[in-house]
Structures are given as structure tokens and as C-alpha cells.
Structure 1
């Protein structure tokens, strides 16, 4: 669910698997496990050294090797018991934190139950944007429809055109929606359309066409 909601630019199941791998790697780094295999190899070498020293009647070296064997056996027992106690389980909040590290969206603080949270989105937006009930309800319908799973493939969640004079709440509604969904008013991309009056300026949005200078750079506002 997190990968579908917050990493829309990639496809399933790859993005979900990568998210789990990233979380597991992060938890593994936080909870390092002593290398049991290397201890077993050291123990095997110590036993071989003890046997060889005993065969050569080098009892001093054999005694030192025996002591080393006993130490390694004790350490191996402790490692086995510690590893069992420190078994790490990936939890939903761990996945949320990985999404937060990847996207910068404070997902972990928002909670996992989006369906319940979005039930009250109309009231929250109306409390912030006054006198624009129709616009608020249109935005809320689009968001709830998407969160309920009734999205249409690669089509956007909604294409909404807010029209009106300065100060009626067009930009504020977008900012409050970003705050409600992503935890920050800055979680929006604002385009000044006066910059796109030139016929070739569309390349700033969607990139340069094949065969033109800059095509290989593949840089544009919508993907950067």
C-alpha cells in the first residue's frame, strides 16, 4: 500500500520488493549480528592446531590451542542465544520510515490507516478554506475515490481547474491538501505559466523531443 501510494512512478511488484529490501537492510545495519560462520571456522582451525601440536608433543602449544578452543566454543554458544533473542521483525512502521527516507514525506507520523483518516478530509479542508465548499468537496471526492482503490490505471487522481480572483483560496486549497496528505504545505510543484508562453517552452515540462539538442539530458520540471 505504501509503495502504491507514495512511489507512483514505479511499477509493482518491483517497488514493493525494493521497499522491503531497503527496510530489511536498514534494520540489519541497526541490529548487527555476530558472524557465526567465521567463529565456526576459527574453532575448526583451533582444533586442528591443537591436534597437530599434540601429535608433535608440543604440549605448551597444545594447551594454548585447547584454551582457544574453549573460548571459541563459549563465544559460539553466546552468539547463538543472542541471535535468537535479537530476531528482528519488519513492522509496518518500519516500512513507513523507509518511504519517508526515500521520498521525504513524513509517512510514519501520519499513520497507516488512510481510509479512516480521509473520511474527515472534507471537514478539515473546509475548516481551513472558507466559502469554497464545492471546490473542497470535488477535491475530497477525487482523493477518497483513489484511496478506495477506484483509480484508473495511469490516469491522474484528478484534474481540477480552480477559477476565481486573487484571494478566494485557490492556492490555499492546494496547500492545505498537500498539508493534509503529505504533512507539509511545500509538498506541491508550482508552475508559473507565464514562463511557458513561448512555443518551445513546453520542453521545460515534458523534455526535449527526440533528435533535438538536449534530448539525452532528459531533464524536465515534471520529473526532476
Structure 2
């Protein structure tokens, strides 16, 4: 909101990994404006979302896209309190440009951004920002970059608690508070290729859908921790027993289980398990690997 209130360069650019809530921030701002929960200076603002795909659809001839986009910009320019939101804003670079031409959506919007006649919010990922958007210096300098980091476990839990009534009404089930917390913690632990809160939301959504699809005679009315564990195991493609077991139990028996599978290498196993236990205890550096090991020896040992 502070960036939107600036006199110049009042165009915030939300940059973060997919699933961390960039679009949700823009939607949340729109909701707060409607509810009157914003400072007086932006109480009269209206946020418009631009769909580049719809603008490009059906543009057969050169100039069709430019005409459509210019009409939208003219209309927004007439409104004193309009804010344009462009999700995946890197897509405007090159959008609508004819073969060999330089007139694209980015070049059409630049003049309005430079003279302050239009406020624009955008969102993109770090990869698209560095590979595409940042290289368009004339456009990127008109925006104020805001890094959107992945929320913590506690913040994600609060987000899911706020969303819980909507998913309960949709799936006609009840999520326990422990199930919500388990969805956050287990998704953060086992689903590594995605980010919070998106992956935790998907877990409770899938768990609710699974309960609703069950036959009426076996349909559960409450989603508990065991249901979340089963869904995490399915999504992460790991044995369900691995999810339900506590770290303490697994780590206590780790060296003995390895020694039952690998014989005659007790010193090496002890070094390996000690490094893992130190890491899980939080004594290792977060930005460094758990350990780097070189297993040297003759073939067959």
C-alpha cells in the first residue's frame, strides 16, 4: 500500500516463487478496499485484473490487439482511482507484437506508467523476472520490486485456519485443528518441489475430496491427522508408515536398521547417522548439505 501511495514509481511488482501467495495478496487488497479496511488515501481505489489471453484471442490482423489494449488503457486513464493488476506480468513483453514489430503491450503501457496516470500492480516469479522482465530496463525501472517469501509454518497455519470454513462447506466435512497443523508440517517436510501455502491448501482440499467420494455407508464427517498422513503419502509417493512415524522413533533406530542391512561397516554407518541426527536436531546450517561423504574402498566391500 505504501508503494501505491507514492507520487512516482507507484507500481508495486510482487516477485516470488509459484504458490507463495502473490495473486492472493492482490485479491486480499481488493477485498480490504471493499470492506473499507485500508487507509483513507486508497479507499476509493478499484482494482482491475487484466487477462492477456482474452485480449489476444481472436486478433487475426495487425493492429487488432493494439486497438483493444489502447481502449482499455484509455478507459482506465479516465478513472482517477483505478489500479491495474497484471498476473504473470512478464507475458506483456512481446504480447501482440507483429512479426518483426516493436509495438507490444509493454511499449503501450510504458507512457502511462512514466507520467503517473495509471497505477499498475504486477506479479511474476524470480525466474521470469530475471530472464524476461528485468532485461526490459525501460519497463522494469518503473516498478518497485517487492519480494514475497514463503510464509512460515505458523503463518501458513493461520492462512489455512482462515480458509477452513470454505473447504468444510464445499466438501461437507469438518477439519480438526490438528489435521490443519499436520497438513502444514507434513507438506513442508515431504513435498519439496512446491511451496507453502499452496501445497498445504492442496493437501486439505484433496483430503476433503477423498472423504466426499467415499460411499455413503463409509463416508467420514471429520478429516483427522491420519487422513492427512495418508494423503501426504500419496502425493509424495512414499510409504504411509514413513509419514506417520515420528522423527524421534526413526532416528533412534536408524543406525541399528542400517547395520542389519550393511554388515562390517559399523564405523561408516555411525558417522553417517551422526550427521543426520545433528541436522535433524537443528544444529546444522540450513543453507548447507546435511553432509558430504566419499565412500572409498575396493569393489564389493
TM-score, length of structure 1 as denominator length: 0.44
Q: Please identify which structure carries the higher strand content.
A: 2
TM-score, length of structure 2 as denominator length: 0.34
Q: Please identify which structure carries the higher helix content.
A: 1
Larger Rg: 1
